[in-house]
Amino acid sequence: MHYGDSIKISGYPAGRRLFELLKPERYFELEQRALQFFSLEKILDEASCNVDFFGLKLRKYPVAEISSEQLESKIDSIVQCLKSQNVKIRQRCVVNNIERSQACDAFIVTGFERNRYFCSEADVIVLATGRAGFASTELMIGKLGVEKEAPNISIGIRIEMPSKYLSRPYKAHKDFKFSEVFGMFKVKSFCFSNFEDAGGRLKYCYYHDQFDRNVVMLDGHANFSKNGNNLSRIETGNFALLVQLPRHFDLKWLNAVFIESYYNLFGGKPIFSSLSSFLEQEGEIGSVRPSVNDCARAAASQLFDPDVLNSLRAACKKAVESIAEANAVPVADIVNSSVVVAPEVEFFWPRVVVGDTFETSVPNLYIVGDAAGVAQGNLQACVAGLAAADSINSNN
């Protein structure tokens, strides 16, 4: 949750693995409390929600949108609430080590706050370090001996196209989520970033110290502000397509092969190509550019091995055909006005072995949110946080 961003809150059946871990009764109790945390009573199931979108099967789950202004005031109120209870908040702080002290039966936490070293003692630790903290978290929990399982890494592309074409998918489902096997792999749409016909932004995401190389990637955010009254329309929106890889494409492969070849192209800066050249179709190569500047034109296809590329292309073609049909325009209109930006990398953090309280195999060490690897999402992170908090409270 960042200042300036809008977010979507996705309720059950999104986050199925979290639901399975917690079991229905406990899950729904926690989801209700998590909704209250976001000042929502419930997420209305949209009547307009279609399951079939011109040949694509969209996953159906309720979604609420929280504008950038609502999110800002939520973040402020959380900070105020903690400060009013004299909770010490360290800002601009990086935790770089957690050790178990034999002498005092506590954890010793060290790190830097605004470049100043600190050392604290803690009886209980809850790590909510998300995906941006994946490498440091890996290192810290590895040293503590936390049990974890290898992830199924996903890689792919992001398609940016005129927002007027993404209004129809948005109306069908705000998250436009489909998942289907294309060729050898399952491909899913991800992080749909468009609000009505008002578009969505591309935003740089800096992965310093998280991979073996410092790389920059692009994320998307829907342009949803002022509680629904957009101040300025953005001409483009975007969504990602991800290929779910089998487990033997592991973290070692990700760093040594995928990130390395990406880094070698333009020093780890995002690359883009026209959608027509990505699909190997005739088109206006060179006339369309992404909405962000600091990226280089290069064939996105060269990042992927042939089977992965086939799956991505097939999914991309089908998505574009469905969107064209929904808008009653020729497929070429969409292909010629869209770009592919790359790469997308998701779900690369390991799954930590946790029970329904999110306590790890190390007593009093909890891991919640994305870092636990159970389910992604803002509501899902909140549900896990509440489960951990309840457990800590009942033990003290």
Provide the binding-site residues for ligand FAD, judged by CB under 6 A.
7-8, 10, 93-95, 128-133, 136, 191, 219-221, 369-371, 376-379, 381
Contact 137, 395 (CB under 8 A): no
- Name the minimum Å distance from CB 10 to ligand FAD: 5
Identity of the residue, 191 or 300, whose beta carbon is nearer to ligand FAD in the bound complex: 191
- Name the minimum Å distance from CB 77 to ligand FAD: 17
Cα angle 282, 288, 291 (rounded to 5 degrees) comes to 145
Identity of the residue, 133 or 283, whose beta carbon is nearer to ligand FAD in the bound complex: 133
CA distances from 113 to 98, 108, 337 (A): 15, 16, 46
Residues in Cβ contact with 290 at an 8 Å cutoff, skipping those fewer than 6 apart: 160, 202, 218, 272, 339, 341
- Name the minimum Å distance from CB 21 to ligand FAD: 15
Task: Report residue 380 as tokens.
Answer: 């899902």
Identity of the residue, 283 or 369, whose beta carbon is nearer to ligand FAD in the bound complex: 369
Identity of the residue, 191 or 316, whose beta carbon is nearer to ligand FAD in the bound complex: 191
| DSSP states of 259-301 | IHHHHHHHTT--EEEEHHHHTT----TTT---S-SS-EE--GG
Virtual CA dihedral for 226, 229, 231, 232, nearest 10 degrees?
A: 130
Instruction: Give the chain's length.
Output: 396
Identity of the residue, 28 or 54, whose beta carbon is nearer to ligand FAD in the bound complex: 28
- Name the minimum Å distance from CB 131 to ligand FAD: 6
Identity of the residue, 174 or 313, whose beta carbon is nearer to ligand FAD in the bound complex: 174
- Name the minimum Å distance from CB 36 to ligand FAD: 16
- Name the minimum Å distance from CB 11 to ligand FAD: 10
Query: Could you count the other beta carbons within 10 Å of the beta carbon of residue 9?
Result: 20
- Name the minimum Å distance from CB 243 to ligand FAD: 18
- Name the minimum Å distance from CB 200 to ligand FAD: 10
d(CA 348, CA 205): 15
Question: Is 236 exposed, middle or buried, given 0-12, 13-18 or 19+ CB atoms closer than 10 A?
Answer: buried
At 231, is the secondary structure helix, strand, or coil?
A: coil
Maximum distance among all Cα pairs of the chain, rounded to whole angstroms: 71
CA distances from 22 to 49, 199, 384 (A): 27, 36, 9
Identity of the residue, 63 or 271, whose beta carbon is nearer to ligand FAD in the bound complex: 63
- Name the minimum Å distance from CB 327 to ligand FAD: 24
Identity of the residue, 92 or 252, whose beta carbon is nearer to ligand FAD in the bound complex: 92
Identity of the residue, 206 or 284, whose beta carbon is nearer to ligand FAD in the bound complex: 206
- Name the minimum Å distance from CB 76 to ligand FAD: 16
13: cis peptide before it, omega within 30°? yes
The residue type of 342 is A
Query: Could you count the other beta carbons within 10 Å of the beta carbon of residue 130?
Result: 15
Identity of the residue, 200 or 283, whose beta carbon is nearer to ligand FAD in the bound complex: 200
Contact 358, 92 (CB under 8 A): no
Cβ-count burial 167-196 (b if 16+ within 10 Å, e if not): bbbbbbbbbbbbbeebbebbbbbbbbbbbb
